[in-house]
Amino acid sequence: MNELDKAIKLLKDGDVVALPTETVYGLAGSIDSEKALRKIFAVKERPFFDPLIVHVSNTQTAKNLAVSWDQTCDVLAKEFWPGPLTMVVKKNETVKDVITAGLDSVGLRCPDHPATLDIIERLGSPVAAPSANKFKRTSPTKKEHVLKEFGEEVFVVEGGESRVGIESTVVGVFSDKVEIYRPGMITSEDITKALNQHGISLPVNVVQSPVAPGQLKHHYMPKIPIVLSWDNQSPKLDSLNIDTSDLAQWHLTSEPTQAARKLYNFFRESEQEGKTAILISLKSSMKESPQWAGILNRLEKAKSFEIHS
């Protein structure tokens, strides 16, 4: 039995499996199995108030889970699926409340990874799949990260390194607007441009929302403190009351696509190498760029301290 066949058998039996995607590795369970869904929360130590994203293998399946699916949804699916975009829409009765934290909406995504798309298609059921890590900790972008997190408890499908590197952009789709609940590598500009090309003119705004995952103040955190340093040539760390004897340092000036791909791996490698803290140097000008929004969002939630010039 090969890896994909084994994963499908486990999912059909109501178990959970770690699956690769282009964003991060996900801890997946069939949406038809209450047992699997509850195991996701148990294995991750995740509270039930934090909703899960449902992963589908095609747009028609997504439509089958929604009360309504308008032209805006169609355009966004056509332009960005398979890919790192999650759409939050009104759910129908086929979506279990445990997935949505009792809310009347559900996040839907079609991941861009051939192995996972094949598994979902052959399983015959969408899967709910948050990131395959303990709650609030750093998301995994390699199989070895998941194994380090869960050991033999979870079967992991090998899918190489995640090429995007941070979680999907999450948007709420309404008749009169699109709201970005969690920024990612698909930006507000990308969404506006795609809609405009199809003759749709809607405001696209970034908002906080309880209907989307990743909304808690602290998230994505490694086990060592992260210090964000803004516009500082030589930041003073003495007053922070942390061990800075062996710092991991990253001057974040690279192109955002590359930075996103490296981000979580850098957190994990720094931890594994026994570094005492992580210092990340940033420029304030990044805050003006939609391309950096997803990365800055993750850093904001993962940080322990922040220093401004």
Report the CATH number that the domain containing residue 165 is assigned in CATH. Answer: 3.90.870.10
Distance CA 252, CA 262 (A): 11
Q: Are residues 74 and 103 in the same domain?
A: yes
Q: What is the pLDDT of residues 130-166, one digit of tens each?
A: 999 999 999 999 999 999 999 999 999 999 999 999 9
Strand (E) positions, 91-246?
105-109, 127-128, 155-156, 169-173, 178-182, 204-206, 226-230
Q: What is the pLDDT of residues 224-251, one digit of tens each?
A: 999 999 998 777 888 888 898 899 999 9
Owning domain of residue 124: 3-206
Q: Is residue 211 part of a domain?
A: no
Task: Say how many C-beta atoms besides its own lie within 10 A of residue 233's C-beta.
Answer: 7
The residue from 142, 174, 206 where one domain ends is 206
Q: What is the pLDDT of residues 266-291, one digit of tens each?
A: 999 999 999 999 999 999 999 999 99
Q: Is residue 220 part of a domain?
A: no
Q: Would you state the pLDDT for residue 236?
A: 81
Bridge partners (DSSP) listed for residue 108: 54, 87
Instruction: Report strand pairing: 178-182 vs 169-173.
Output: antiparallel
Percent of the chain surpassing pLDDT 90: 89
Please tell me the pTM assigned to this model: 0.95
Q: Residues 114, 198: contact at Cβ < 8 Å? A: no
Q: Which residues contact 176 (CB under 8 A, 6 or more apart)?
A: 202, 203
Distance CA 261, CA 263 (A): 6
The residue from 156, 175, 206 where one domain ends is 206
What does the mean pLDDT of the chain come to? 95
Q: Are residues 195 and 268 in the same domain?
A: no
Q: Would you state the pLDDT for residue 225?
A: 95
Distance CA 29, CA 40 (A): 7
Distance CA 302, CA 290 (A): 19
Which DSSP letter does residue 246 get?
T
